[in-house]
Amino acid sequence: MPYKTDRAPAGAGTSPRQRRFGAAAVAFAFWVTMAGTTAPTSLYPLYGERFGFSPMTVTVIFAVYAMGVVVGLLAFGRLSDQVGRRPVLIAATLLAAGAAGVFLAADQVALLLVARVISGFSAALVTGAATAALTELLPQAGRVPAPMVALFANMGGLACGTLLAGILADAAPDPLRTPWVVMLVLSVTGLAGVAATPETGSRGAAFTLRLPRPRIPSDIRSDFLRSAMTAGAGFAVLGVLTAVTGLFLGTVLHESGHALAGLVVFVAFACTALGQLAVRRFRPEVALPAACLGLILAAALIATAMATGTLAPLPAAAAVNGLATGVALGHGVGGIVTRSAPEHRGATVSAFFAILYSMLAVPAIGVGVLIRATGLRPAGEVFSAAVALLALVVLMSLVRTRQTDGARP
């Protein structure tokens, strides 16, 4: 979640060396916290065998994470403004370590659900605090701008977590424990780093726990909703890929390697980061139509993978969907930052990401219900058609708006 701040970098009493260390520590903590949120992806088939649960349970386990992020963003999005960056970063990495510990000790589905909720809160806390801290620690004229560091820490963590867990699950003698031992060690290392990081924020008003009403300024409402629906469709695909890729590879393709599932999700999130960078090369009026076309193509590739039971279309779909999602996401956030009033910007960004993470969770549960009723491959085909239809509706709306604007004198 991008975060804009008008604060200057760390105070005059902080040396350049301390700021460099602090930026590295915050970026690492951001990376490892987000990595912990996708690490279970490659392990879901193993958990299913161990605890005997259904694909529906897998999607619910994934969805509670996304809903935890939504609630955390809305309830605690302003926390680092109120109590400072470092306390929130410490809390986020503590929660990441706690989630890894719960996964390590999990012997029933209930503990997996608890671990996912904790992961959701850790992601919600770290996103705003880490992005703000990086903005304040890194010089504005530096070679690598703070937003880019935050982007690669965020999406890099999401991409690498599932791949790392998959590789460890294939290589380690205890595939359900070794990945979490490694994640726990990495989280504790991140905790030590942010604990030694200089505070860059200043305390604001006293902390108040409340869920703010989502705010969408009327002058950007139509573009906001189109961007949110387009990026949300991409997030829905990311959520379903994260939840059921391992199941598809294991039950349809009979691929037992867990690193392969991690690789597909890695490609999806890595390309989402690339899409956010690529949006700068699109004219604003072209970005969303291009993203919609990309989502339609990705949906067709997923449907092809499901209908033919072949592997090749799946990573291609992950790459195309990631690029399209990143373009829509970058376009939407860019529009909010540049066109909304400063006093409404934070609430508007929170509303945007609340929609995206809801789209990450709810369709995954819907697919789980469909899998239970019809089977994995028909459910995948129906889901692909729904994504393509949503993207097509947005695309037609964009074309109609452009034709209307062009007809005006």
* Domain annotation for the chain: domains and CATH numbers: 15-201 (1.20.1250.20), 215-404 (1.20.1250.20)
Instruction: Give the CA distances from residue 267 to residues 127, 167, 314, 346, in Å, rounded to whole numbers and listed in that order.
Output: 21, 15, 10, 30
The pLDDT value recorded for residue 210 is: 62
| pLDDT (tens digit per residue) in 293-308 | 999 999 999 999 999 9
Confidence at residue 252, expressed as pLDDT on a 0 to 100 scale: 84
Residue 396 CB neighbour total at 10 angstroms? 11
pLDDT of residue 33: 96
- Pinpoint the alpha helices (H) of 309-375: 313-339, 342-374
Give the model's pLDDT for residue 204.
Answer: 54
In the numeric block, which tokens belong to residue 260?
């392969």
Pull the structure tokens for residue 292.
């919609």
Size (the chain), residues: 409
Six token digits for residue 94: 């503590």
Instruction: Report residues of the chain scoring pLDDT below 70.
Output: 1-13, 140-142, 201-215, 337, 340-347, 403-409
Query: 3-state DSSP call for residue 165?
Result: helix
The per-residue pLDDT for 8 is 43
Query: Does residue 272 contact residue 86 with C-beta atoms inside 8 Å?
Result: no
Q: In this structure, are residues 246 and 261 in contact, taking their beta carbons and an 8 Å threshold?
A: yes
pLDDT at residue number 406: 52
pLDDT in tens, 208-231: 666 666 667 777 888 888 888 999
Rounded-to-integer distance, Cα 34 and Cα 31, Å: 5
Cα–Cα distance between 68 and 115 in angstroms, integer? Answer: 11
| Residue 120 · residue 357 · CB < 8 Å | no
Please say whether the beta carbons of 42 and 165 come within 8 A. Answer: yes
Alpha helices in 138-220 (DSSP H): 146-171, 178-195
Q: How far apart are CA 344 and CA 258, in angstroms?
A: 44
